[in-house]
Structure formats: C-alpha cells, structure tokens
Amino acid sequence: MRGTYTIVLACERPMRVRFGKLGRANVNVGYYLYTGSALGQGAVSLEGRLARHNRTVKKKRWHVDYLRSRRGCRFKGAVYLISNRRLECRVNRAIADSLNTQLSLPRLGASDCKCDAHLVSVAEDLSIVRLLNRLEQIYSRFGLPHLYLGESRLAGLLPISSRRRHGKF
C-alpha cells in the first residue's frame, strides 16, 4: 500500500540526541510525532515503512531513526492514510495547526521539503488514546484514517473506524 503516515514515539526520559549531520538536540519526556510518505513498494511501502519505524535495530537513514534507536524511546503506534498522493507536508501542517507541537531542531525530519520540521514534540499533556484520537480527526480531513499498533497487527492493518468494534487498543 501507498500513503502518508504519522508515527507516535514516547520518550520516557530526557536525553541529548545527535540527529546525523543536522546536529544535537535535547529530547524531553513526552510524545514525538514523525510524519512521512510511503509511495513505493516493498521496503518503501506503508507496511515496510511502519515495520521499519517499529524496529529499534536498523541502519540510521532518517532523522527519526536516531530518536527511535535510543533506549527509553518507544513506538506507540501510527495513524496513516492510503493514497497515491504525497500528502505528508499538508498533513504535517494540519497537525502543527491543530496540536500544540514544538520543534526540537529546525528541519528535523524535513530535509527533502520546505517544512519547518516533520519530527516534532507534542507540548500538550495528552494520553496516548487522546493523542491517537486527535490524529484520527486531523487525518479524516484527507480521507479515511487507519491505525497501526505494531508488528502484531502488520498483516491486517486495522482501520481506526473499526477499532470501536474490536475493543480498545
């Protein structure tokens, strides 16, 4: 599948992280969001990208990999949209407009576009359920949002609209 996604990472302790050539930044306790596109097949499909972001051991290629590979920074889930269009910048702007997000470093996660950053922290004190619900609302402006909760659900990427029938996540 092809589309746009936003992963949610929970950093459980403060740390200083080097984000490749971009530099170092302080990472505080809280949630971090990374928005990207997956418009290819195989490793660069939605399934491939989400599975990769869920892994901790991997070659560091993207800024989000530097954060994800740190102990104390856990993958909590992702909201995604199936589409052949590159919507990551529009979705990223909608997230910034709707949630209280902050930059750790300018251009973090956005080296291939003109956005301020695609890897941002969430300044609001939200539960993971509330944060995923807010992301669902934002994504619904662009189409039908779906939820990914990790490798155990990879084969049957569960739509958010179905989660109420299947119970809580």
pLDDT for res 125: 92
Model pTM? 0.88
Instruction: Give the model confidence (pLDDT) of 16-74 as tens digits.
Output: 999 989 999 999 999 999 999 999 999 899 999 999 998 888 899 889 999 999 999 99
pLDDT value at 156 more than 50: no
Listed by start position, the domains of the chain span 3-166
Instruction: Give the model confidence (pLDDT) of 82-109 as tens digits.
Output: 999 999 999 999 999 999 999 888 898 8
CA–CA dist 108, 146 (Å, integer): 25
Cα-Cα-Cα-Cα dihedral sign, residues 139, 143, 147, 148: negative
Residue pair 39/84 in contact (Cβ under 8 Å)? The answer is yes
Neighbouring residues of 93: CB distance < 8 A, sequence distance ≥ 6: 115
Give the mean pLDDT of the chain.
87
pLDDT value at 14 more than 90: yes
Please choose, from the candidates 143, 138, 140, 147, the residue with its C-alpha nearest in 3D space to the C-alpha of residue 169.
Answer: 147
